[in-house]
Structure 1
């Protein structure tokens, strides 16, 4: 059990670092073909892998109180951060009018709504045989692309498009994952990643928005019968990349393993850094390959900071709606200050 926890915590930390890095790279995708290829390569697996892992851990959805628990964990933080980001964007972009819409998720907040919906959808799909459920979810995902009204609003498009990946994760078991951890599979995973990157570099006209799952076919191209086969092709690519990524994840305990438990904090908070980065002049500094390596390092630092106990303690009231960590942090600070005062008094006494 401990080994499994280490594996998934390692995977989640590395994935959230890729999420931060991918969002920072977005600024440069139209300026550099290598960056554009790297960006699309990352997007083939980082959110799909998160979704698959989320499905893997949704096996207890039938337990009493589970839905209420995830509603508190997902919907309440969504509402809070939807309000916070609305105010933040209003001042950041100096918008003329303040507009609040709780049903149109800001940027990365779509994942919270979709994750809640996926758990609800399991109530019906879990009763089906695995292949039947996956096939039906896939057919729905392919067909909704023809409905122009299904897009980012309420995160409907992504909810349907990514549900097959969530369902695959739900049906996945540990023994199946163990088959990934052979030397042959790991070697193949490296080769597959290189081939995918090279493919995106050689064919730069591939629209990255196919990987987002948020747009109907009419906004990606002129909708036709070919459109759903293109989406099906991207499904296959993402699935191969997700399992290639998981095959390369270390299973031991490392310095970053514990931070894998704080990915929700990173996911909700990193948007402030990314948006400020995009609006500032800092991004003008990044023009050469070695500087993009530095950007990867910055992404890692942001991820580590937002995964830290201090940030978790400060942000817990608005993310988990609890104050246990915050109270503990305040108690620690209080003890530290008292020791400082006592030390000061002793010093003055000896004088």
Structure 2
């Protein structure tokens, strides 16, 4: 994405984590070259996001749910960690605020309205309200990014920001009734991953590129998949969505604290294992990493359209193992096409609009008189 707000809306500008990187070189505010590593990671993650949403449409066997649990444990946390890392230089300067408006606020307003209208007419729910305070479907992430990015200077002033963020997440997980405004439960429960990203440095990503770490990632994923298969019949999916408190999903309050910390550890481990295997050189899909905002915001129409139309239920074979594989491949190809440069150019007026006409010029950029 060409804005600087991460996976869904940010520019992938950052110090290169590979061997040729210079620690501290470049910035996260759009200066310096694009980093193939982060573009690769964002593309692979957006495919997992779309595929995970597609799996929700079909009947879940134990094996399918195990894969679902595995993917949902790390795909959004990994996105958010990258978002935090790419936000390290945010200081609330006029130019950065302008990028927030063009890269987050405008897409949020446009797609929140579009998805609400889509549900109203495609799902035949004429009374479904359009509310910019109650994110529907995918737009919660844009609202969360806006809040996290605006609070970045605060986190950078704290001595132990990650500990504070974890405490906030734990308190949110045991506090019912926070409300749906801007999906604050998710904002607060996913907050530690963003703050962790703020704390990371280029050398941390270089460490993940070591051969020993990459080899260790294989048994980590194998063990996680085995555990997910065991947990498939014992664990609620709601834990991974982080949109409700423990009490709201029918669990004792103290399980919220336990699950928040346990899932943070598991998500962190799998995120590291995933990033260890992300290619660091340019690949055929590297260019698609710049358009993941399009894939993220568009694939919801495909997924929800299939649900609202009854297409999945009308084709029983899609619930069989072979059908699930076909569905996975179709969605992966579709979201890949949504990330291509032509689609990005078409959507640029709403995902990367030029708001220079509406914003005051940064005094620091004005030419000196005389």
Please indicate the TM-score interval, normalised by the length of the shorter structure.
0.7 to 0.9
Instruction: Tell me, yes or no, if the aligned pair for 1:10 and 1:256 is still in contact at 8 Å.
Output: yes
**How far apart are the structure 2 equivalents of 1:80 and 1:287?**
34
Map 1:1-351; keep pairs closer than 5 Å. Answer: 5-28=35-58, 30-62=59-91, 64-65=93-94, 66-129=96-159, 132-204=160-232, 205-283=234-312, 284=315, 285-322=317-354
Q: CA 1:140–1:2 in structure 2 vs 1: closer, same or farther (change >3 Å)? A: closer
**How far apart are the structure 2 equivalents of 1:221 and 1:162?**
21
The Cα of 1:287 is off from its aligned counterpart by 2.9
The Cα of 1:72 is off from its aligned counterpart by 2.5
Q: CA 1:171–1:2 in structure 2 vs 1: closer, same or farther (change >3 Å)? A: closer
**How far apart are the structure 2 equivalents of 1:45 and 1:157?**
18
**How far apart are the structure 1 equivalents of 2:201 and 2:180?**
32
SS in 2 for 1:286: helix
Structure 1 length-normalised TM: 0.87
Q: Which runs of no fewer than 5 residues in structure 2 stay unpaired?
A: 1-14, 19-34, 356-370
Instruction: Tell me, yes or no, if the aligned pair for 1:9 and 1:261 is still in contact at 8 Å.
Output: yes
**How far apart are the structure 2 equivalents of 1:99 and 1:63?**
33
Alpha-carbon deviations, 1:266-285, whole Å to 9, x = none?
11111110111223444233
Q: CA 1:225–1:3 in structure 2 vs 1: closer, same or farther (change >3 Å)? A: closer
Q: CA 1:149–1:200 in structure 2 vs 1: closer, same or farther (change >3 Å)? A: same
Instruction: Tell me, yes or no, if the aligned pair for 1:48 and 1:242 is still in contact at 8 Å.
Output: yes
User: Whose Rg is larger?
Assistant: 1
Instruction: Tell me, yes or no, if the aligned pair for 1:151 and 1:216 is still in contact at 8 Å.
Output: no
Alpha-carbon deviations, 1:321-350, whole Å to 9, x = none?
249xxxxxxxxxxxxxxxxxxxxxxxxxxx
The Cα of 1:289 is off from its aligned counterpart by 2.4
Runs of 4+ off more than 3 Å: 1-4
Q: Which runs of no fewer than 5 residues in structure 1 stay unpaired?
A: 324-351
Instruction: Tell me, yes or no, if the aligned pair for 1:142 and 1:231 is still in contact at 8 Å.
Output: yes
SS in 1 for 2:198: helix
SS in 1 for 2:157: coil
Instruction: Tell me, yes or no, if the aligned pair for 1:138 and 1:164 is still in contact at 8 Å.
Output: yes
Alpha-carbon deviations, 1:133-168, whole Å to 9, x = none?
110110011011222122543120111111110011
The Cα of 1:209 is off from its aligned counterpart by 1.1
Bigger helix fraction:
1
**How far apart are the structure 2 equivalents of 1:315 and 1:73?**
12
Structure 2 length-normalised TM: 0.82
Instruction: Tell me, yes or no, if the aligned pair for 1:40 and 1:208 is still in contact at 8 Å.
Output: yes
Instruction: Tell me, yes or no, if the aligned pair for 1:151 and 1:215 is still in contact at 8 Å.
Output: no
Count of residue pairs the alignment pairs up: 320
The Cα of 1:201 is off from its aligned counterpart by 1.2
**How far apart are the structure 2 equivalents of 1:224 and 1:98?**
32
**How far apart are the structure 1 equivalents of 2:309 and 2:126?**
20
- CA RMSD of superposed structures (Å): 1.8
**How far apart are the structure 1 equivalents of 2:51 and 2:222?**
18
